[in-house]
Amino acid sequence: MKIAVCVKHVPEAASRRIDPSTKRLDRSGEGALNAFDANALEEALRLKDASGEGEVVAVSMGPQKASDTLRKALAMGADRAVLVSDESAAGSDLVATSYALGKALAREEPDLVLLGQQASDSDGAVLWAAIAERLRRPMISQVAELTASDGKVRGKRQTEFGYDVIEAPLPAVVAVSDAINEPRYPSLKGIMGAKKKPQETLSLDDLGVESERAGEAGSKTEVLGLTDPPARGDSRRIEDDGNAAEQIAEFLAEKRLI
């Protein structure tokens, strides 16, 4: 079975900022593999190990720095990596991103596409649905347990009413939650071996993506403005010198909250 895993290169939490000139997330700083995508990659590796055969391909779209994230995916155990990187793709929203990624995935023709439930830099949690729509494949989301056999995939997910068990024919798209597994750490052998594994970089032209369907031109959403969060109202800092509880009670009484 051939499994494609979509992985995202996300900015480190400490360095995340919005570029006021472009009104987009600044991706020039350090980045890392999106944590939810590490769960998806781990699950793909486990499915391959369970079957004893197959191929795991890590697929990403982003700047050239995303190759660092793909090298980690290779070090974890992916067989090869594909990066869609093109300056014309900068500023792509969900619509434009799913179109380009859909083209890259269609080129691979995998039996199963795995994604993390969401990305830590946007928390959109909808890319998997858009990818499934682009590929015209069945989709299961929020999967906490996953099995694949006999040309079918079965996912179990928790809901407020209990558990859903959903079965779909392959090829399919599955988004996993972070409860599905504990991602492995790359071993020294894996890190060294990653240097020898195939890593391909594709432009939008390579995928046949029209310029008007990528980047800001192909996006259907637009950020019109940015503002600072509202200033906090009056506040009082209470130092615990032994009577903090009394001071808190007095403050709440003043505000007529008790």
How far apart are alpha carbons 35 and 48 in whole angstroms? 20
Residues pairing with 148 in the sheet: 153
C-alpha 76/C-alpha 41 separation (Å) is: 8
| Cα–Cα distance measured from residue 258 to residue 249, given in angstroms and rounded to the nearest whole number | 8
Tell me the one-letter amino acid at 221. T
Per-residue confidence of the chain (258 residues) as pLDDT tens digits? Answer: 999 999 999 987 766 777 777 777 777 777 889 999 999 999 999 999 999 899 999 999 999 999 999 999 999 999 999 999 999 998 899 999 999 999 999 999 999 999 999 988 877 889 999 999 999 999 999 999 999 999 999 999 988 889 999 999 999 999 999 999 999 999 999 999 999 999 999 999 999 999 899 998 999 888 888 888 787 777 778 888 888 888 888 888 888 888
pLDDT at 159: 87
Q: Which CATH class is domain 2-218?
A: alpha beta
Averaged confidence pLDDT in the chain: 91
**61, exposed or middle or buried, with CB in 10 Å at 0-12, 13-18, 19+?**
buried
Phi then psi for residue 90, to 5 deg, are -60, 135
Q: Residue 211 has what pLDDT?
A: 87
Quick one: pLDDT at residue 21? 77
Tell me, what's the pLDDT at 14?
63
